Structure formats: C-alpha cells, structure tokens
C-alpha cells in the first residue's frame, strides 16, 4: 500500500538547511496498521506531508495506494485520507457543513455526504453538534471532528498525525476501537504517528521507530521489546543497598545493576523465574525489602536502548502510559 | 473542476454572509465616502477647471467603485493566510479537488462581494444624490468592478501563498496600494491640466489609472471612447496575468 525509497526532505531557512527527513525506506502492506513512533522533531509530520502530496520530497520516490507520489499526486489524493497534527477546521464553519463539504470535495453526492457524515459523527460522539460552529467545540471534540473529516470518504488508506493528542482516555480508547473496527470492516490501511508508547503498543501491528530523520528500528511491538535485554527488576530495601546490589549481581543472568539511594535495579532475561531466587538470596543475607517490582520491557526501553535517550525526555507522558509503567 | 469551484464558492459566500462585521463594514465604508466625502467633491468639481466633463457624481461614483473593489480584493489574502494557519487550506489541498478550483471558487466569491458593494454604491447615488448616468454604462462599470476584484483577489491570494506571513502581508499590501491608489486618480483625477507633468506621466504608467478612466467613461456614457477601450484591455490583461499567477501558485506542489 505504501512503498518508500530514499525519501528525504530538506528545509532551507535563511541560508541554513535543516534535514528533516534523511532518506528513509519502508513498506506498508494493505490492511496493516503501522505506527510511526518518535520524539518531537523526528520528522514524522514532514514524512506524512510528503506521503499525502502536501510537500514535495527533496529526494527519493514512493508509491502510495498504487499511485506514484511524484507523477500522480492527484491519484494519491483520491485514495487517501489525512488527519493533520495541527487541526483543520475553520472556527466559523458549522460542524455539519465542514463534514458535508469535505465529503463532496471527494466527489460524493450531497445525500451520500450527509449520510456518511451523520454516521461517522455519531460513531465519534459528535452527534447533535452539526449546527455548532467549530469554534464552540471543546479541544477534544474538535480533534474528533478533524478525524471525521479525514475519514468521511472512507479511504482505503488513512494517515493520522497524532490523532489522539488532546483526547481524554475514554475518547482515546473509543478512537482506537473505531480505527480497529474500520480496519476490520473495510480492510482500511492505517499509518499513524504517535508519541504515546502505549498507543503504539496497543494499536499497531508494526512500529517504525524514528529519530532525527531516520528510521532506527522496525518490528512488531513484541519483536522490538524482545530486542531489549530482558525484564527490569526494581527492589527497594530498608538499608544496606550496596550490599543488596552485590547479592543480586550474583543471580543467574543478572546485569545492568544500579543502585540509587535505597533502590536497586537490575535486568534479567526472565524476571518471573528469577524472582523466587532473588527473594531467598536477599532474605538469607538478612536484607529487609520494602517492595519488589518486575517490569516487562516497554517501548520506552526500546527507544532508550536504540538511541541512548528516553522518548519521554522533556515530554509530558500520557496518564495511561504512567499506568502501564506502574503495573 | 466546475463543481469544485462551485462548492468552494458556496462555502466562502456562506461564511461571508454569516459574518456581520464584514457585512456592516462592507456596507458602511462606501456609504461613508458617499455621504462625508461626496458633497465636498461636488463643490470641488464645480469650481475647478480641468476636471473630466460630466456630472460630479458621475466622476465620484465610478472612483468609489474602483476603490472598494481594490481594497476588498487586495486584502482577500489576509483571510487565506488565516485559513492556512488553522489548517483549512492544507485540508482542501489534500483532497482530490482541483487546486485551481480552490482559487477560482474564492476569487469568484470575492467578485460577487465586490459587485454587491458596487450595486449598493450605484443605488445610493441614484436614489439619494443626483447621479446621472446611462444604464448601459453603469452595467458595464459593474462588470469592470467584478473583473477588477477577480484580478486583485487572485493576485492577493497568490502573494499570500508566496509570503506565508500574516504579519508581512498586510504591510506589504498597504505599501503597494497607497501609491497605486494616489496615482490612479481615484480621489482627485490626475489630468494634464491639474497635475504637474511628471506626476501626470507617472499616473499614465499606472494600469489602475486606465481602469478608473474607463469606469468614468462608462459613467459618462462614452461607450465608444478610446479611454474605455484602453482601460478594458488593460483590465483584461491584468486579470489574465493575475489568474495565471494565482493558478500557478496554487498548483505548486509545496505549500
Ligand atoms: N517548514 C519548515 N521549515 C523549516 N524547518 C522545518 C519545517 N517543518 C519542519 N521543520 C523541521 O523539521 C524537523 C522535523 O519536523 P516534523 O514536524 O516533521 O517533526 P515531528 O516528528 O512531526 O515532531 P512532533 O512530534 O513535534 O510533531 C524539525 O526539526 C523541524 O524544526
Ligand atoms: Mg509532528
């Protein structure tokens, strides 16, 4: 459904060039749900704008929905839907009008435009707001309107640029359900960008991890996590943390042992099977533990091990993600 | 493409009619000129030699029509830049709708708005003041106002998309419009008798002068005059250029 080779985009600002996307290659099969995961400024939006024919690549080529990106942009536009990161609604336009016009610009008749618009608005909890100007909607409602506008013509391929930013957990879950359902019912291919690890994890068949204009890893969420060296164990002790670290270091397969104040962290291949032994060992040294936690590797760990920095550095983590981490 | 043009035209018209500020300003501005500036003009025309012949209102009304079309057309780009900022332009550009249709629909809406303002100006001068002009001339001048609005809005949209700056665009537009307006004889006709030679010659190079002259000729009923012919040709040439520029800018891959 998407084939991209050597796609690159350079911006020139006052004589200085910014390499936003530095020659990326990837493929997306029909019906796949692929996530484009990366920190701020990684080049996600720039890539999407190239794939939706809004921005001409500086280099490289691509085929999107069977049409060549460079020679048949009109063909591409006919077949795809796009939800931009920054929103797309005119404050004075009424919700119903925006949806109807958008569908009609894709060639739908007025009746069909209204029918599909009403259906989709209903599914994304916007029913009853048709007569409201977009400026009177809440941030989350407006985001859902953006999504309706990107999907109303039922494209076979849709690009969603951070579709759930600004949505509350319930709307997020609702949108995920909707995306899954459309994929199941219409065989739609979905390409979405996100900062949210839990979103990529929960929703995507496959993830492209991107950083600084390049794709640094690619795989299913499980494959990516398997690449990280094992589960993380966190032990809080009452005292003698350094001694505890020495003890756990002798456990089979233990590595990356660190001590911060009264907390000892280590990685082991299988956390659940090592745990009984760890408890016995610390107990036999009469070290008092206050808590023990085993965490499966997260995509954040994947990102950290790939790039040496945390995806969440300097970003507000989503509440749902915090929940995943604590679990 | 016709269908897309129509859809965009309807959208812009709907939004324009729904915006009371625009409606009031659009109606008030020409009325203010008519009531607060018109009577002065009548006296000036009566006492100054070297004015174009004809009834004072027949000199002022066409100038007001040009000025109104000029301003509403030129600042059309401001609205486009706002639409660009909030992502509406990109959304439309992402649909299969023809990108020229996007321009044409908007330009057409501007033309209709300018024509409506011009009709209002003509009606008020006919009913309240003693405008004396032939119907055919007035119709022709309305058509020219529409073409002028098409020209300026198309150029304005193109310039806006090139500049992409909500801060720079209005200042640049003002800087361009003021000399163009002063040199066109909209407020005071720049005739050979009234103006020093160099000013007169400068005004002659200003294409807008010829449009104003043509409008005045139409109001005088001078339908066979060379002024009217030259002005119409200049106007059509400008319209063609502006539309070509607009279309090319809108069709460009990057925006
Ligand atoms: N029009 C532009 N002119 C100059 N530089 C740009 C332009 N658009 C993007 N960039 C730069 O290109 C890089 C990639 O930007 P992009 O918007 O694609 O990132 P992103 O991955 O979508 O980030 P975010 O998660 O913040 O949305 C950034 O360094 C950005 O500053
Ligand atoms: Mg982005």
Closest residue (by CA) to atom 4 of ligand 1?
A11
User: What does the pLDDT average to over B223-247?
Assistant: 92
CATH 3.40.50.720 fits A2-225+319-326, yes or no: no
Helix (H) or strand (E) run with residue A298 in it: none
In Å, how far are A53, A72, A78, A86, B99 from B253, measured between CA atoms?
A: 7, 12, 16, 20, 10
Q: Which fold has domain A230-296?
A: Alpha-Beta Plaits (3.30.70)
Q: Please state which of the ranges A231-235, A302-306, B225-229 shows the lowest mean pLDDT.
A: A302-306
Q: Cβ distance B6 to B98 under 8 Å?
A: no
Distance from CA of B94 to the nearest CA of A (A): 6
**Chain-centre distance of CA B71, in angstroms?**
6
Distance from CA of A97 to the nearest CA of B (A): 9
Please judge whether B91 and A104 are an interchain contact, meaning their C-beta atoms are less than 8 angstroms apart. no
| Cα(A183) to centroid(ligand 2), Å | 23
Tell me the whole-structure pTM to 2 decimals: 0.85
- Residue B52 DSSP class: P
Decide if A82 and B96 are in contact by the 8 Å CB cutoff: no
Answer with the residue of higher pLDDT: A83 or A271.
Answer: A83
- Closest Cβ–Cβ partner in B86, B94, B255 for A82: B94
CA A129, chain centre distance (Å):
29
With H, G, I as helix, E, B as strand and everything else as coil, classify residue A52: coil
Contacts of A159 in chain B (CB under 8 A): none
Asked if B54 contacts B60 with a C-beta cutoff of 8 angstroms, the reply is: no
Asked if residue A302 has pLDDT above 50, the reply is yes
Report chain A's C-alpha Rg in angstroms: 24
Residues of A with CB under 8 A from a CB of B: 52-56, 73-74, 77-78, 80, 82, 84, 86-93, 97, 101-102, 104-107, 149
Question: Residues B178-191: what's their mean pLDDT?
Answer: 85
Are B76 and B172 a contacting pair, CB within 8 Å? no
Beta strands in chain B (DSSP E): none
Tell me what pLDDT residue B186 has: 83
Kindly report the backbone phi and psi dihedral angles of residue B204, in degrees, each rounded to the nearest multiple of 5, phi listed first: -65, -30
**Cα–Cα distance for residue pair B129/B143, rounded to 1 Å:** 22
Q: B29, B18, B27, B118: which is closest to B66 by C-alpha?
A: B118
Nearest alpha carbon to residue B218 among B133, B139, B142, B137? B137
Counting residues of chain A whose pLDDT is more than 90, the rounded percentage is 50
Which of A62, A105, A131, A142 to mutate: most B Cβ within 10 Å? A105
* CB atoms closer than 10 angstroms to residue B37: 12
Torsion, Cα of A90, A94, A95, A99 (10° steps): -80
Amino acid A72: pLDDT? 93
Comparison of pLDDT for A178 and A90, the residue scoring more: A90
A17 contacts A10 by C-beta, under 8 angstroms: yes
Which ligand is nearest to the Cα of residue A36, counting in written order? 1
Q: What percent of chain B has pLDDT over 90?
A: 53
The set of protein residues with a Cβ atom below 6 angstroms from ligand 1 is A 11, 13, 18, 20, 38, 40-46, 85
What's the first-to-final CA gap in chain A, in angstroms? 37
Mean pLDDT on A248-268: 87
Q: Distance between CA A57 and CA B170 in Å, rounded?
A: 31
Q: What are the residue ranges spanned by the domains of chain A? A: 2-225+319-326, 230-296
| φ/ψ of residue A89, rounded to 5 | -110, 150
Distance between CA atoms of B125 and A263, rounded to whole angstroms? 87
pLDDT digits (tens, 9 = 90+) for B55-114: 778 888 888 899 999 988 999 999 999 999 999 999 999 999 999 999 999 999 999 999
Report, as an integer, the average pLDDT of A311-327. 42
Q: What is the pLDDT of residue B52?
A: 62
Indicate the pairing of strand A16-28 with strand A33-37.
unpaired
For chain B, report the end-to-end CA distance as a whole number of angstroms. Answer: 20
- Confidence label for A310 from pLDDT (cuts 50, 70 and 90): low
How many angstroms separate the Cα of B42 from the Cα of each of A310, B64, B234? Answer: 76, 14, 29
> What's the confidence (pLDDT) of residue A200?
86
The pLDDT tens digits of the residues spanning B153-174 come to 999 999 999 999 999 999 999 9
Q: What is the mean pLDDT of chain B?
A: 89
Q: Which of B111, B99, B85, B109 is nearest to B11 (CA)?
A: B109
Q: Does B2 touch chain A (CB under 8 A)?
A: no
What is the interface pTM, i.e. ipTM, of the complex?
A: 0.87
pLDDT for A261 beyond 80: yes
3-state SS class at B165? coil
CB contact (8 A) between residue A77 and residue B18: no
Q: How confident is the model at residue A312 (pLDDT cuts 50, 70, 90)?
A: low
- Give yes or no for B254 touching A (CB within 8 A): yes
> Which of the two residues, B131 and A320, has the higher pLDDT score?
B131
């Amino acid at each position: 459904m998407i084939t991209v080779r050597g796609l690159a985009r350079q911006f020139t600002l006052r004589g200085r060039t910014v390499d936003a996307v530095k020659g990326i290659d990837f493929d997306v099969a029909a019906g796949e749900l692929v996530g484009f995961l990366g920190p701020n400024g990684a080049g996600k939006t720039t890539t999407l704008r190239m794939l939706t024919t809004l921005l001409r690549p500086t280099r490289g080529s691509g085929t999107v929905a069977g049409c060549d990106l460079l020679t048949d942009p009109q063909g591409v536009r006919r077949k795809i839907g796009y939800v931009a990161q920054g929103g797309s609604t005119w404050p004075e336009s009424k919700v119903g009008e925006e949806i109807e016009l958008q569908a009609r610009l894709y060639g739908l008749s007025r009746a069909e435009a209204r029918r599909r618009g009403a259906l989709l608005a209903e599914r994304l909890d916007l029913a009853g707001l048709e007569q409201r100007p977009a400026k009177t909607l809440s941030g989350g409602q407006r985001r859902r309107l953006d999504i309706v506008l990107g999907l109303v013509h039922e494209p076979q391929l849709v690009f969603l640029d951070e579709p759930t930013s600004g949505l509350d957990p319930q709307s997020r879950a609702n949108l995920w359900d909707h995306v899954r359902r459309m994929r199941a019912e219409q065989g739609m291919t979905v390409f979405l960008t996100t900062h949210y690890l839990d979103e990529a994890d929960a929703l995507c068949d496959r993830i492209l991890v991107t950083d600084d204009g390049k794709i640094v890893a690619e795989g299913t969420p499980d494959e990516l996590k398997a690449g990280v060296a094992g589960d993380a164990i966190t032990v809080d002790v009452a005292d003698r943390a350094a001694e505890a670290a020495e003890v756990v270091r002798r456990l089979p397969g233990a590595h990356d042992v660190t001590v911060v104040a009264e907390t000892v962290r280590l990685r082991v291949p299988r956390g659940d099977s090592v745990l009984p032994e760890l408890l016995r060992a610390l107990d036999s040294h009469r070290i008092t533990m206050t808590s023990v936690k085993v965490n499966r590797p997260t995509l954040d760990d994947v990102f950290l091990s790939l790039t040496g920095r945390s995806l969440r550095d300097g970003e507000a983590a989503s509440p749902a993600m915090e929940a995943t981490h604590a679990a | 493409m016709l269908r897309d043009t129509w859809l965009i035209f309807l959208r812009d018209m709907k939004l324009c009619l729904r915006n009371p500020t625009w409606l009031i300003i659009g109606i008030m501005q020409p009325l203010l000129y008519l009531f607060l500036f018109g009577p002065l003009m009548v006296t000036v025309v009566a006492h100054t030699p070297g004015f174009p012949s004809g009834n004072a209102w027949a000199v002022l009304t066409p100038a007001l029509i040009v000025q109104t079309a000029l301003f509403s057309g030129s600042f059309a780009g401001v609205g486009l830049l706002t639409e660009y900022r909030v992502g509406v332009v990109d959304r439309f550009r992402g649909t299969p709708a023809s990108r020229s249709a996007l321009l044409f629909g908007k330009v057409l809406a501007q033309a209709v708005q300018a024509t409506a303002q011009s009709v209002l100006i003509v009606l008020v001068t006919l009913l309240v003041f003693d405008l004396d002009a032939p119907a055919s001339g007035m119709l022709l001048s309305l058509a020219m106002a529409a073409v002028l609005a098409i020209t300026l809005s198309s150029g304005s949209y193109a310039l806006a998309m090139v500049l992409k700056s909500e801060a720079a665009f209005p200042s640049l537009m003002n800087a361009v419009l003021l000399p163009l307006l002063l040199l066109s004889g909209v407020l005071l006709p720049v005739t050979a008798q009234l103006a020093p030679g160099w000013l007169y010659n400068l005004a002659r190079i200003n294409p807008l002068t010829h449009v104003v002259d043509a409008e005045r000729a139409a109001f005088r009923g001078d339908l066979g005059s060379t002024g009217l012919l030259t002005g119409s040709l200049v106007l059509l040439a400008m319209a063609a250029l502006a539309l070509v520029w607009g279309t090319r800018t809108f069709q460009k891959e990057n925006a």
